[in-house]
């Protein structure tokens, strides 16, 4: 078993799982029925991607591991998702600003994963990229609508764009796992993703008449397993049923 490949797979899988779990909280609470369904669809896409990635991770782990065991029976510090994804949803604008930052990142990331030297990751990326392209288009459009909307929507989305900024750095900060993936052509060079991301984000924010934040200090730790206080609550909710009834079935 290649522990670095496993680690890389878990990071991708946990990003999808934790974001999906966060987004389903909106189900039944969206501002209008149509957007409630739109966001629930995106949540389901994320969960679908999480399943494929965690299945692959479980396969690498062997020893009878399954996607469910990874999702429901791992403790907090073994989750490797980026911190931005575990932050509470707050209001619609905050949720959408996070989507915009993350979907844009995911779009450039998965476009590169289409060329992965790892056949499984490549196959997953081929399936996921169509969904992710739609997500990125959808959330960017919302940022433009809210930024270039009313005075109140402009003000509120700008605040969310600012507040979330310090959580974006982690996506592009390389550690040994990212370097391993880059060197073995499993994943891309994050510097390139960062450059593409900044260009796209600047472009959309400009159309949206919003100011791009400039602060340089960034949060970090999620992909190494050091989380905010919020992840524990997500896991408590997500894992409570399988932990209470490990044999539970649909």
Indicate the residue among 92 and 101 with the shorter CB distance to other proteins. Answer: 92
Assess 148 for contact with other proteins (CB under 8 A): no
For the segment 77-96, give every residue that binds other proteins (CB under 8 A): 92
Q: Which stretch binds other proteins (CB under 8 A): 121-129, 138-146, 160-168, 178-186?
A: 138-146
Cβ neighbours of residue 91 closer than 8 Å, sequence gap 6 or more: 156, 160
Evaluate whether 135 touches 120 at the Cβ level (below 8 Å).
no
What does residue 174 show for φ and ψ, rounded to 5 degrees?
Answer: -80, 135
Instruction: For residue 161, count CB atoms less than 10 angstroms from its CB and return exposed for 0-12, middle for 13-18, buried for 19 or more.
Output: buried
Establish how many alpha carbons lie within 13 A of residue 233's alpha carbon, considering only the half-sphere containing its beta carbon: 9
130 lines the binding site for other proteins (CB under 8 A): no
As a residue count, the chain comes to 250
Smallest gap from Cβ 161 to other proteins, in A, equals 17
Q: What would the x/- binding string for other proteins be over residues 1 to 40, using CB under 8 A? A: ------------------------------xxxxx-xx--
DSSP string spanning 12-25? HHHHHHHHHHHHHT
* C-beta of 157 vs 177, nearer to other proteins: 157
Tokens representing residue 98 in the block: 């996070």
Sites for other proteins among residues 158-187 (CB under 8 A): none
Question: For other proteins, which residue of 26, 138, 167, 197 counts as binding (CB under 8 A)?
Answer: 138
Question: Rule CB under 8 A: which residues touch other proteins?
Answer: 31-35, 37-38, 41, 92, 138, 141, 145, 153
């Amino acid at each position: 078993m290649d522990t670095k490949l496993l680690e890389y797979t878990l990071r991708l899988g946990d990003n999808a799982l934790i974001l999906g779990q966060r987004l389903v909280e909106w189900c039944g609470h969206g501002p209008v029925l149509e957007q409630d369904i739109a966001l629930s669809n995106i949540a389901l896409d994320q969960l679908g991607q999480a399943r494929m990635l965690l299945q692959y991770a479980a396969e690498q782990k062997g020893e009878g591991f399954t996607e469910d065991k990874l999702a429901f029976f791992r403790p907090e510090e073994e989750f490797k998702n980026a911190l931005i994804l575990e932050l509470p949803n707050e209001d619609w604008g905050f949720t959408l600003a996070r989507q915009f930052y993350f979907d844009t990142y995911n779009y450039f990331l998965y476009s590169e994963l289409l060329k992965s030297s790892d056949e499984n990751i490549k196959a997953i990326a081929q399936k996921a990229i169509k969904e992710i392209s739609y997500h990125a288009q959808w959330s960017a459009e919302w940022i433009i609508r809210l930024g270039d909307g009313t005075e109140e929507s402009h003000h509120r989305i700008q605040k969310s764009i600012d507040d979330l900024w310090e959580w974006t750095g982690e996506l592009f900060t390389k550690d040994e796992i990212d370097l391993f993936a880059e060197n073995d052509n499993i994943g891309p060079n994050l510097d390139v993703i960062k450059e593409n991301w900044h260009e796209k984000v600047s472009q959309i924010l400009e159309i949206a008449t919003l100011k791009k934040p400039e602060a340089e200090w960034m949060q970090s730790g999620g992909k190494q397993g050091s989380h905010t206080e919020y992840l524990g609550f997500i896991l408590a909710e997500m894992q409570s049923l399988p932990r209470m009834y490990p044999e539970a079935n649909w």
